[in-house]
Structure 1
Amino acid sequence: MIPAPPIPRGPLAHVNPVAKLGAALLIAFPLILTIDVVSAAVALLLEIPLLLAAGVDARTFWRRTAPVWIAAPLAAVTIALYGEPSGTVHFEWLLVRVSDGSLALAAATCLRILALALPGVVLFATVDPTDLADGLAQRVRLPARFVLGALGGMRLVGLLFDDWRELELARRARGVADTGRVRRVLGMAFALVVLALRRGATLATSMEARGFGSDRARTWARRSPWGAREWMLLAIGLGISLTAVAVAVATGAWNFILGPS
């Protein structure tokens, strides 16, 4: 018997998912307009209490955010080696040129990726897809047909992993998985795509037969609550953005990437 997942606990664990999405977007918006160390560092520092209040345990946090911690340093190394040089050049070999400018840009890129990705990953770690769909339809007023279709697709994502495991076990049982690993992976991927298309068509037909494609106004089994906690989370996200921008502008570090070069 598979143990039930732990119940998320924390001040933000049960906040409306739409508010979490809005807060993540508010934090990300100014960071995509600039590449500088100050704004990214300030935003990342102010995000720490928000991450702690998300109700995610340490194991889940590191497992969910591991790709971010890997991608940020790798991007920084690439920028440091191949970024546009400026200032003093410390090392040069073929296409590699490490300078003061490329190092500063690498540090800003690393912090920027962390500040952009961590809030979204951590805040959505405790989001149930059904709650998110309820919020998008009831609060953001997105078309119910689109929301329910996306929800059905998200619910099938977990089945893809089970299908892949079953395909692998079936091929091993037939003795065709011992050699030709690349060919085996390509064959399994093709089979998985075919299976996903068939299952998607079946799901679409069944949902259409049950009236999910109707243009009439729908009723919802569960209400999507919205109150002071949601407004407070949005205010926190806006405050983090404004503070990061203000500090960057005040220190002269603001580097508007859409401005004239």
Structure 2
Amino acid sequence: MTLLDAHARTGRMSRVNPVAKLGASALITIPLVLTLDVVSAAVALALELLLMPLAGLGWREFWARTWIVWALAPLTGLTIALYGRTSGEVYVDWLFVEVSQGSLILALATTLRVLAIALPSVVLFATVDPTDLADGLGQVLKLPARFVIGALAGLRMVGLFLDDWRALELARRARGVADRGRLRRFLGMAFALLVLSIRRGSKLATAMEARGFGAPGVRTWARESRFGAAEWGLMAVGLAIASMATAAAVAAGTWNLILGPGG
């Protein structure tokens, strides 16, 4: 576990049930997915940035976890600006590239929407422990225990997957077969890792069946997953952000329902 992981798992937000974090992210995302306009995305992003300090992450940790979002969101907007729907005054018209007033507005709205959707998801789920999430899905949302435990076991294997990849790479270098032919080396390692993953998955499934994970009946849980005032408060914050963003867009006349006739 890295230092960032340790800090995220011990902050204030780490004690909130992961199901509430999932629900708050969904409440923020739904209205932003239904519309594509600058006002709703800008209002949601501004409110989220104001509330980010309450997530319990330091600014250094925040940038370390979200820099990829800040880097990729403008690239998404750039693609829309160059190849998006043309409307209004045209500024650049060259081959397949046509930059207009409408495409620039659409690009800005897309960039802000990507940031408004991705940032709270990254920040909230940075403080989620996979076991806590499985407990919440099984006890709060009442999802099938067999599915939840199987997904948790698979998620726990991701770390071993990365370790196996590094071990295979070092072993091939030690044998002198990793100095040339990068594509061939990648395909060989991918196939070897696939075989290893299938074998490990079969052994894990057998072990879990032997320990009664697939038994019928009501399953007991080692830890109780609570859903109380803090969780409802986080859900209320997500609903408030979504409501204020939607109300601002409707008041400004920029609300654009994507699923509607003109979407």
Task: Name the TM tier (shorter chain).
Answer: over 0.9
Q: Contact conserved, 1:39 with 1:247, CA < 8 A, in 2?
A: yes
Does the alignment pair 1:149 with 2:150?
yes
Q: CA deviation at 1:140?
A: 0.4
Is it true that 1:6 corresponds to 2:6 in the alignment?
A: yes
Note if contact 2:7-2:57 (Cα within 8 Å) is conserved in structure 1.
Answer: no
Give the direction of change, closer, same or farther, for the CA distance of 1:143–1:176 in structure 2 (3 Å limit).
same
- The structural deviation recorded for 1:111 is 0.3
Which residue type is aligned with residue 46 of structure 1?
L
1:201 is displaced (CA, Å) by 1.2
2:70 pairs with 1:69: yes
- Tell me how far apart the structure 2 counterparts of residues 5 and 86 of structure 1 sit (CA, whole Å): 46
**Hey, what does 2:255 align to over in structure 1?**
254
For structure 1, the residue ranges without an aligned partner over 5 or more in a row are none
What secondary structure sits across from 2:34 in the alignment? coil
Q: TM-score, normalised by structure 2?
A: 0.95
- Which amino acid counterpart does residue 93 of structure 2 have in structure 1? E
Alignment-derived partner of residue 208 in structure 2: 207
Report the AA paired with residue 37 of structure 2: D
The equivalent residue for 1:220 is: 221
Q: Which residue of 2 aligns with 1:116?
A: 117
**Retained in 2: the 8 A contact 1:18–1:136?**
yes
Contact kept in structure 1, 2:4 and 2:61, CA below 8 Å: no
Higher relative helix content: 2
Name the counterpart of 2:37: 36
Letter in 2 for 1:232: G
Written as runs of structure 1 = structure 2, the 5 A alignment for 1:168-179 is 168-179=169-180
Q: What is the match of residue 19 of structure 2?
A: 18
Instruction: Tell me the SS of whatever aligns to 2:55.
Output: coil
Q: Which amino acid aligns with 1:20?
A: K
CA distance in 2, matches of 1:114, 1:121: 10
Measured in 2, the distance between the counterparts of 1:10 and 1:172 equals 41
Matched residue type, 2:27: L
Deviation, structure 1 residue 66: 2.5
8-17 vs 231-240, greater mean Cα deviation = 8-17
Note the alpha carbon deviations across 1:68-101, whole angstroms, 9 max, x for none.
Answer: 1222111100000000110000011000000000
Equivalent residue number for residue 137 of structure 2: 136
User: Which amino acid in 2 is paired with 1:129?
Assistant: P
* C-alpha separation in 1, matches of 2:135 and 2:146: 12
* Residues 183-210 of structure 1: per-residue CA shift (max 9 Å, x gap): 1111111111221111111111110111
Q: Distance in 1 between matches of 2:4 and 2:240?
A: 37
The Cα offsets for residues 45-80 of structure 1, whole Å up to 9 and x where unpaired, read as 111233221122334322322321222111100000
Question: 1:56·1:125 contact (CA, 8 Å) conserved in 2?
Answer: no
Identity of aligned residues (%): 65
Per-residue deviation, residues 8-63 of structure 1 (Å, max 9, x unmatched): 35442311111001000000010000000000000011112332211223343223
Contact 1:85–1:99 (CA under 8 A) maintained in structure 2: yes
Asked if the contact 1:82/1:95 (under 8 Å) is kept, the reply is yes
Matched letter for residue 173 of structure 1: A
The separation in 2 between residues aligned to 1:59 and 1:175, in whole angstroms, is 40
Alignment-derived partner of residue 105 in structure 1? 106
TM-score by length of 1: 0.96
Query: 2: distance between equivalents of 1:167 and 1:238?
Result: 47
C-alpha contact (below 8 Å) 1:51/1:123 kept by paired residues: no
Counterpart CA distance in 1 for 2:52 and 2:186 is 37
Partner of 1:13: helix, strand, or coil? Answer: helix
The runs of 4+ residues in structure 1 deviating greater than 4 Å are: 1-5
Measure the CA separation in 2 of the matches of 1:33 and 1:16. 27
